[in-house]
């Protein structure tokens, strides 16, 4: 049976392989572009969609993105919930919402707001949707349809209402973020 250290080392190695694979894919796309291939042809040769090839070409030459999207946030929260770490899941949500508040480019805002995949927990999916919808309202941005969710049947506080909640979100009314999936 693998030890925790072995599992962690293997996981870190897998993450590095994924990063290397992404770099190689970007290089293949860039090489095809430099050789005059169309995005459609590059997509056919790499087994990717043309929109993905277009996105990769746009990303090449731009500085690496330092903020997390709603889709990435949801996936990270799902992973944290699987590990039983609601506190870090909540920290991830708060960090992503803070990232969203700082975005100014329309393309970045649109990328952030792409529909996330479910976390596997209706309460967290509702909380994510409510937090994003409320931040959209505060920013004067149209909230995406995926943020419209039915409220939870009962009150719920993530991370067992622990110490993190005292300074969460905007600090003024943290309970508003965490009640029944609605935000004030």
Give yes or no: residues 14 and 36 share one domain. yes
Q: In this structure, is residue 124 part of a structural domain?
A: yes
Domain residue limits at 74: 70-177
pTM exceeds 0.75: no
Q: What is the pLDDT of residues 28-40, one digit of tens each?
A: 888 888 877 778 8
Q: If we measure between CA atoms, which residue out of 184, 143, 166 comes closest to residue 94?
A: 166
Q: In this structure, is residue 65 part of a structural domain?
A: no
Q: Which of 36, 59, 82 is the last residue of a domain?
A: 59
Q: What is the pLDDT of residues 20-65, one digit of tens each?
A: 888 888 888 888 888 777 788 888 899 988 888 888 888 776 666 7
Give yes or no: residues 83 and 124 share one domain. yes
| Domain total in the chain | 2
Q: In this structure, is residue 184 part of a structural domain?
A: no
What integer pLDDT is reported at residue 64 of this predicted model? 61
CA distance 16 to 173: 40
152 phi-psi bin (left φ>0, alpha ψ -120 to 50, beta other): beta
């Amino acid at each position: 049976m693998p030890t925790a250290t072995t599992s962690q080392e293997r996981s870190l190695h897998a993450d590095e392989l994924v990063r290397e694979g992404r770099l190689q894919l970007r290089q293949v796309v860039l090489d095809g572009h430099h050789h005059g291939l169309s995005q459609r042809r590059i997509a056919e040769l790499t087994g990717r969609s043309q929109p993905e090839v277009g996105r990769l070409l746009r990303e090449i030459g731009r500085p690496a993105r330092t903020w997390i999207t709603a889709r990435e946030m949801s996936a990270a929260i799902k992973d944290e919930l699987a590990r039983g770490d609601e506190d870090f899941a909540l920290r991830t949500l708060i960090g992503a919402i803070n990232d969203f508040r700082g975005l100014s480019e329309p393309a970045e805002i649109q990328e952030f707001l792409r529909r996330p995949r479910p976390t596997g927990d209706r309460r967290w999916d509702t909380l994510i949707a409510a937090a994003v919808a409320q931040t959209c309202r505060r920013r004067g941005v149209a909230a995406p349809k995926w943020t419209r969710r039915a409220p939870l049947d009962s009150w719920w506080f993530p991370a067992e209402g622990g110490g993190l909640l005292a300074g969460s979100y905007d600090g003024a009314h943290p309970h508003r973020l965490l009640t029944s999936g609605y935000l004030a």
